[in-house]
Amino acid sequence: MAGITGQGDTFDLPNYVGELFAVTPEDTPFLSAIGGLTGGESASATLFQWQGYDLRDASATRQRQEGADAPTAEARVRFNTTNVVEIHQEALELSYTKLAATGQFNSTGSSHAGSVGISGSNPVLNELDWQIAQHLKQIARDFEKSCITGTFNNPSTNATARRTRGILEATSTNATTKGTTVGTATIESDTELWTITAHGLAVGDQIVVGTLTGGAATVLTEDTIYYVRTAPDADTFTVAARPGGAAVAFATDGGGVVYKPTPLTDAVVFDLLQQVWENGGIQESETATVIVGASLKRALTKIFIKDRNFQETTRNVGGVSLTTFETDFGRLNLMLNRHMPTATLSVVSLEECAPVFLPIPGKGFLFVEELARVGAAEKRQIYGEIGLKYGNEKAHGKLLRVGAPAGA
């Protein structure tokens, strides 16, 4: 991944699309899988679109009698779906001395005697290459998060950034919201106490929050599981980000609606899978994938593997190794993704999805180029415009406000 000096063109500017799929498969399993399955697609505008269509339901009364006239004309109607590419841009600058001092693996300050090492002992012998690789990883991680939780924005001017629509926002037909409403809380920043009259919560209970206001909006994340840390009385409580953790602190007062998530069970999962299947999803078992965060991953492992004495197996999907589990709708993949909201489960037909790149003339899809020097340093930028194609949104599904049951 050497940096390029001088004029850049299509012959000597490296194209990093392939590396983007493979550079961090543990951190970016969704991007790595759909990139590995499709190789990515090309767009010719910032706003790209694809077509879909629906067939009528199969009928047992459509047979025609001999010699009959033609039936009433019908036409299958196509529909267009659009998304937008978003800009990912990173920059780096390295001094000439830093590039040259490959045998040094500590700083040159007076407090670091012996900072000069034996040449070759430093695992980073080309600082420019290493820095470019890390920036590329960061782009991959950023776009992975966009693929999951991105909210669509196609502004009329360049005053705001374009943002691609992620799979959660795109999924609307097969969307099920669970959980029960506890009430609307007021949160005091001085004490971290949440107040809801007769909240009925106990220490260790899971909660999910929404419609955040004030200081809560800057500290808490919607569709994320928090845990009741203390419950001094029937009307107040504090929360932590994990069981037994420190109380979440607030700089200013705030509030939000509190929900108690529905414990995840096989019936809850099967209901969603059935809805997705009935609407045309889960057609290819090899790429039908359930995506969750850590707590729901533990719950699914307990429900479908441990409690059923199922031998855990894996499947390679687009170069990513995924755990599989047996369901009434086939053997599906289970993808652990750190960017999924912790109270959300997503069912994704990966064959419907692809990363879409807008090629920059004379440069490529995702490239590194030299920036103008103003001193004794090398400057580079990595640039690419990428969006998510998610196919027919009816092929996907999502569960909101669900939590891991006790013991998971």
Neighbour-count burial for 38-65, b at 16+ CB within 10 Å, e otherwise: bebeebeeeebebeeeeeeeeeeeeeee
- Positive/negative CA dihedral, 335, 337, 343, 349: negative
Distance of alpha carbon 375 from alpha carbon 98, whole angstroms: 14
Query: What is the predicted pLDDT for the residue at 12?
Result: 46
Exposed/middle/buried for residue 86 (C-beta within 10 Å: 0-12, 13-18, 19+): buried
Distance of alpha carbon 65 from alpha carbon 71, whole angstroms: 11
Domain at 265-352+394-401, CATH class: alpha beta
User: Where are the domain boundaries for CATH 2.40.30 in the chain?
Assistant: 179-261
User: Where are the domain boundaries for CATH 3.30.2320 in the chain?
Assistant: 265-352+394-401
Distance of alpha carbon 212 from alpha carbon 258, whole angstroms: 10
Query: What is the predicted pLDDT for the residue at 28?
Result: 92
Residues in contact with 66: Cβ distance below 8 Å, sequence separation at least 6, in sequence order: none
CB of 367 within 8 A of CB of 16? yes
Report strand pairing: 366-370 vs 397-400: unpaired
Backbone angles phi, psi at 55, to 5 degrees: -95, 155
Q: What is the CATH number of domain 179-261?
A: 2.40.30
- Positive/negative CA dihedral, 94, 96, 97, 100: positive
DSSP 8-state class, residue 350: G
**One digit per residue, pLDDT tens: the chain, 408 residues?**
333 344 444 444 445 555 566 666 668 999 999 999 998 999 999 999 998 777 777 778 778 888 888 888 877 777 789 999 999 999 999 999 888 877 766 655 555 554 555 555 666 778 898 889 889 989 999 999 999 999 999 999 999 999 999 999 999 999 999 999 999 999 999 999 999 999 999 999 999 999 999 999 999 999 899 999 999 999 999 999 999 899 999 999 999 999 999 999 999 999 999 999 999 999 998 999 999 999 999 999 999 988 888 878 899 999 999 999 999 999 999 999 999 999 999 999 999 999 999 999 998 888 999 999 889 999 999 999 999 999 999 999 999 999 988 777
pTM of the model: 0.86
Q: Residue 266: which region, alpha, beta or left (left: phi > 0; alpha: psi -120 to 50)?
A: alpha
- Nearest by Cα to 102 from 90, 87, 114, 118: 118
- Residue pointed to by tokens 């695992």: 123
Query: What is the predicted pLDDT for the residue at 45?
Result: 95
Sequence letter at residue 333: N
CA distance from start to end of the chain = 43
Sequence letter at residue 178: K
Fold category of 17-53+79-169+354-389 in CATH: Major capsid protein gp5 fold (3.30.2400)
Sequence letter at residue 65: Q
User: Where are the domain boundaries for CATH 3.30.2400.10 in the chain?
Assistant: 17-53+79-169+354-389
